Amino acid sequence: MDSCPNGASWIMRDILACKNLISRGLCFQVSPLCHLRTWCDPWIPSIERFIPPEPNLSDSVLMEFAFTKSLFLPDSFSWKLDMLNSLFTPFLVQAILKIRIPAPSAALGPFWTPSTNGRFSVKSAYLTDQKGCFPSVNDSSVFVCKRCPIAQQVWLVSKWNFRLLPFEHLVMEDWIRLLLSMDRHLFSSLELCWEFLTFSVIAMGLVWNARNKLFHESVPVDVVKIARLADKLTIEHVKAQRAKLLRAQEFNPVQKWRAPPSDWLKVNTDASFKDGLCAVAILVWDSSGAIVHAAGFKSWAHDVVAAEALAIAKALSILNKAGVHQVFFESDSLVAVNLILHDDIPPDWTVKVDIEAAKFLLSHWPMWHVCNIPRLKNSDAGLLAKWAFHRSWSGTIPHNCIPLDIFCEEFSIPSFVTLNCFDFE
């Protein structure tokens, strides 16, 4: 029903008026157990409108794959990759492979993509409705950073005496990339480089506040005062960070990895993520410090947290198949670990499938424990994830293929590690 019928109630009129808004945020969880229409229903959350366009194929082929369940292998929760590549563009195939398929016991249904937890809210609906009605945040940021006359004068009268005009053509991403790429070759010291970066952030905030006061309260702008304040706050921030670093070096002892108790296993997981593609690494250790299993898997993911959650879920699945009763699972992703351990924290829809799978497995093994550890104590899994990413590795890593240089980093697990691998899968 696209138009409102005569005599419709005001409630029905409002519902129909919101139909277009709802279609911009509502998406369905896809699974081989559901009956979603491939070319009509929204089921790919990372594309606009969530519905793939019909390919220019015969009607018989379109009818054969009219429902999304036909895109899965028989009696499986895995995609038919050859069919995906023949039906969709490479961009759409990547978007589909990012979708995490829920377990058979999981509840299926729609979720609201503008909200991170997948739940509809008035605020997220309002922001979705207003998107495009005003200049984008990127345009506003670019203007305040480089094109605003106030910002240009602040930079000129500051200690840096810097001219923004030659860089005003850069988009926000290129401007940030330029700032982050500056190194000690452009400055007399690395500390001066970081001071410049800090000033750029503080100056932007002060200029933004000054503009708001000028437009909404008619408060005149004093660019010299803003520049002096930005210089002062920059120096204070740099000093505070230097003192914090010194305190950390003085009071924080070097974090050392510890082997698990006798008859226990310890599992370290980590992920490497770039441009929607990730590789997860899993290292399993026994009480003697020997690696008894190593694995790496390359996959698509929406973000870093989704990749970390996938790494933990993969590790839990491997140890579940092996039937190991006493295991410590360690990850340096505090967000992913908290989502698994705390039921009162609703997971984002991008990680919900793996978080629920992890919780399900943990509930069946009372002697399994998941905890967060510092990144330094997890460096071996992190380096193995980077290795798996560049090698496009997926599956068990034989003991003669494990790159030994991952154990040579400072603060890593001792270099006398024993390789005693066997296949859990």
Please indicate, yes or no, whether residues 273 and 382 belong to a single structural domain of this protein: yes
Q: pLDDT value at position 96?
A: 95
Q: Is residue 220 part of a domain?
A: yes
Q: How far apart are CA 258 and CA 377, in angstroms?
A: 9
Q: pLDDT value at position 246?
A: 76
- Give the residues across from 280 on adjacent strands: 271, 297
Please indicate, yes or no, whether residues 207 and 348 belong to a single structural domain of this protein: no
* Type of residue found at 180: L
Write out the two tokens for 287: 């009480």
Write out the two tokens for 327: 């295991």
Please indicate, yes or no, whether residues 84 and 163 belong to a single structural domain of this protein: no
Write out the two tokens for 108: 């299926």
Q: pLDDT value at position 275?
A: 86
**Domain limit, last residue, from 228, 251, 274:** 251
Ramachandran area for residue 161 (φ above 0: left; ψ -120 to 50: alpha; else beta): left
Please indicate, yes or no, whether residues 158 and 197 belong to a single structural domain of this protein: yes
Please indicate, yes or no, whether residues 279 and 379 belong to a single structural domain of this protein: yes
Q: pLDDT value at position 408?
A: 65
Please indicate, yes or no, whether residues 269 and 246 belong to a single structural domain of this protein: no
Q: Is residue 121 part of a domain?
A: no
Provide the whole-model pTM. 0.71
**What is the largest distance, in Å, between two alpha-carbon atoms of the chain?**
81
Please indicate, yes or no, whether residues 241 and 305 belong to a single structural domain of this protein: no
Please indicate, yes or no, whether residues 214 and 290 belong to a single structural domain of this protein: no
Ramachandran area for residue 376 (φ above 0: left; ψ -120 to 50: alpha; else beta): alpha
Q: Is residue 72 part of a domain?
A: yes
Please indicate, yes or no, whether residues 326 and 194 belong to a single structural domain of this protein: no
Please indicate, yes or no, whether residues 379 and 279 belong to a single structural domain of this protein: yes
Write out the two tokens for 401: 């293929």
Residue pair 179/146 in contact by the 8 Å Cβ criterion:
no
Domain containing residue 95 = 26-113
Write out the two tokens for 124: 């997220």
Specify the number of domains making up the chain: 3
Q: Is residue 146 part of a domain?
A: yes
Picking from 82, 95, 119, 117, the residue whose alpha carbon sits closest to that of residue 42 is 95
**Domain limit, last residue, from 225, 251, 277:** 251
Q: Is residue 9 part of a domain?
A: no
φ and ψ of 359, to 5 deg: -65, -40
Q: pLDDT value at position 211?
A: 85
Q: Which helix (H) or strand (E) holds 245?
A: helix 223-251
- Residue 364, CA distances (Å) to 13, 204, 264, 310, 358 in order: 49, 51, 17, 19, 10
Q: Is residue 289 part of a domain?
A: yes
- Cβ partners under 8 Å of residue 73, min gap 6: 79, 80
Number of continuous H segments (helices) and E segments (strands) in the chain: 15, 9
Q: Is residue 119 part of a domain?
A: no
Q: pLDDT value at position 407?
A: 73
Per-residue pLDDT of the chain (425 residues; tens, 9 = 90+): 556 677 778 877 777 778 888 889 999 999 999 889 999 999 999 998 899 999 888 888 889 999 999 999 988 889 999 999 999 999 999 999 999 998 887 778 899 999 888 888 888 888 888 776 544 444 466 666 667 888 888 888 898 888 887 777 776 677 777 776 665 556 667 778 888 888 988 988 898 888 888 888 888 889 999 999 999 999 999 888 888 777 766 555 555 678 899 999 999 999 999 988 999 999 999 998 889 999 999 999 999 999 999 999 999 999 999 999 999 999 999 999 999 999 988 888 999 999 999 999 999 999 999 999 988 889 899 999 999 999 999 999 998 888 877 776 543 444 344 555 555 55
Please indicate, yes or no, whether residues 270 and 311 belong to a single structural domain of this protein: yes
For 237, other C-beta atoms within 10 Å of its C-beta total 16
**DSSP assignment letter at 146:** I
Please indicate, yes or no, whether residues 191 and 282 belong to a single structural domain of this protein: no
Q: Is residue 83 part of a domain?
A: yes
